[in-house]
Chains A and B, each alone.
Chain A
């Protein structure tokens, strides 16, 4: 077939932020499917809750302090996270480095607190179906927390190397976006794990 050039796109940029970029939609898709995973796990919890006459089964509800402390830190972490977003959009390499380190530290603190939360669930995974589903849900969210922390650390290291090129700022904003998902996913889980057993 003959070709006739109708338009030249040579002046377009080579990277972009948000819904303009491909990876943003990739992150969005993964959040959707992982969000569905959380929804299904919550459904399983509520199903077991509905079919059992007593809840929690043979255990006290989890101690409140680790989950509550996490929730507060998660919510506050949105502030430095948004700063990271802003400086990445401005392509301010120095500040991006600083805020990525801050976010990594916050992630580490949360991961340590998460360890305490497992220890204060007041049930083991093999005690009852209640224990099983609580460990499953907390484990699922911890996987997300750990994965995002790993991602943040790798990005932070990357930004201190020669690879810190403009398109990496777009990656930083996608990481910010994903962290918001980890935070938002936690909120219903906090209510479910710490407060539903107290109903």
Chain B
């Protein structure tokens, strides 16, 4: 106790002295090894965002290849075999290496700032998660470069993905990439849940949590309950292929539809894992640029939760043509239509907010408006395919391709790009160019609609998905050409985004703490935030703290100024409970990720990898958790 009395606390220091001291405690060590040891959620979040965008550009290049191939009849740019790999890589990259990770990446960066804490819960797990994501993504793309890219669709249906029909390693690469990314996603989900439950600033009761944080909390629960299904699926698939289990072998009691159930039990919530964070972003951006709090905060929160629950009751609508009992089909049609209700409620809240506010049409708001328009169209075609007769007609056609690109790009990518414009100044300390931003938006909005709207019609004309070419007499070439032109314009919009980011990083206007005049806590600290996030933990008395009092920030004192410490608060009321130590930087998460990577990749070549791959993992994990004797461990 005597030692504790002597400890310097943040109430004994002030101003720049306190800031300098906290910075020296919380900063990431310099040098290469130091960089690899980082457990700062902002640094890892930034890496996560940049990596996910790199995969977006890679996946986008594949899309362009497909659009060149399909621009006219009987093109021969890609062979049928390569085309199979290209569409599989495109889907898998976009879903597993871009859409889910990029949403989690923003959460890793923003949630701790928004709830007013110094670091995410389990920072080392966070570092491990990033490395697993990076290694899994590289594994997939390096395999593709060696002509072992998966070619069985992003859903890898059995029996096509069984050993008998895919004797190469391609399906194994797909299955193991899934394992990598799911481990990464589950880790982040746990971190977010614990950060939101236990590390909220004092006074941030449940009804004062920013909407993006609510959205990420619901998403984290979806990840937690959906991803185990795909883990079981990918594991059983790889076991079938590697050690001759019989899960999907009908001659020995296996069943190929089991795969579809396991896949879509994950796959449908997956859509909401991507969409719900985007609605959170939209709510935050709307409030700031409509210059008023979002109307219907409780309605939006309850809609998010309702969407989360309902998303687990829809998976069978992906299987309407597999010969289901009629009652089952009816039930899943009803639930698929039902989920439009909470989404609709949110959209009405946003429209009301704009209506009642004084909207300022900056780039982030433009992207949110684009999102509302495109998503509503995607939602309408969604209600159409929820009905069994229509679904049966358009199943596996370009109508479905159009539908899910409207929902996913409209529902997730547009708000995401809006979020990039909105939070770029916080993350990088400089504003993105508004002029380029407007170009970016209009190119994206027009390009997207020109690229994807014609696909509805192509689908109704009967053009099937996943064909590498078609003959001229089908009459599909004009609409396909139009679609390809749109895709080129859409791609150009991303080039503008990239150029804007590179230009603005060097030449953009410097951003102060709160350039948009926003209301939430991430804007109460410097841009970019210092390693400790806040010199003192904010105390929250209002749902929009920075609008309640824009001059003075009420804060809490008494945390250590000698070692890493975060404040834990109670679940509902956010009453301070514990001053808990927060982990120091460590190389062990990286070493554990390397050991796990060797285990995962080894095990697609020999089952014995499970034997010799386990000890290194166990050793690195013990190294990770063993106390180092530093102050934080010995309290």
Contacts and interface: CB of A to CB of B under 8 A. Distances in A.
A129 interface: yes
Contact of A21 (B580, B627, B629): B580
A44 B258 contact: yes
A25 B265 contact: no
A4 B580 contact: no
A2 B625 CA distance: 40
Given A11-B558, A13-B578, A21-B580, A29 B243 contact: no
Given A7-B202, A15-B578, A135-B245, A57 B567 contact: no
Given A4-B553, A21-B578, A47 B261 contact: yes
A162 to B, nearest CB: 8
A163 B622 CA distance: 14
Contacts of A15: 578, 580, 635
B194 A26 contact: yes
A55 B558 CA distance: 64
B552 A3 contact: yes
A167 B565 CA distance: 14
Q: Is the interface of B mostly helix, strand, loop or mixed?
A: mixed
A135 B607 CA distance: 15
Given A2-B551, A9-B558, A126 B255 contact: no
B255 A9 contact: no
Interface in B218-248: 224-225, 227-229, 231-232, 235-236, 239-240, 243-247
A65 B555 CA distance: 62
Given A9-B576, A128-B253, A47 B258 contact: yes
A132 B553 contact: no
A48 B568 contact: no
B533 to A, nearest CB: 14
Given A21-B578, A29-B189, A30-B190, A167 B252 contact: no
Interface stretch (A34-42, A105-113, A178-186): A34-42
Nearest to B229: A40
Contacts of B252: 57, 127-129
B122 interface: yes
Interface in A51-108: 51-52, 57
B568 A126 contact: no
Contacts of A13: 578-579
A40 B262 contact: yes
Contacts of A197: none
A160 to B, nearest CB: 13
B194 A10 contact: no
Interface string A142-184: 0000000010001000100001011100000000000000000
24 contacts: A1-B552, A10-B557, A11-B558, A13-B579, A14-B579, A14-B635, A15-B580, A15-B635, A16-B568, A19-B571, A21-B580, A25-B197, A26-B190, A36-B224, A36-B229, A44-B232, A48-B258, A125-B244, A128-B252, A129-B246, A129-B253, A132-B254, A136-B239, A163-B627
Which 9 pairs from chain A and chain B are nearest by CB?
A: A10-B558, A132-B245, A129-B253, A37-B228, A129-B254, A126-B244, A9-B558, A8-B558, A29-B190
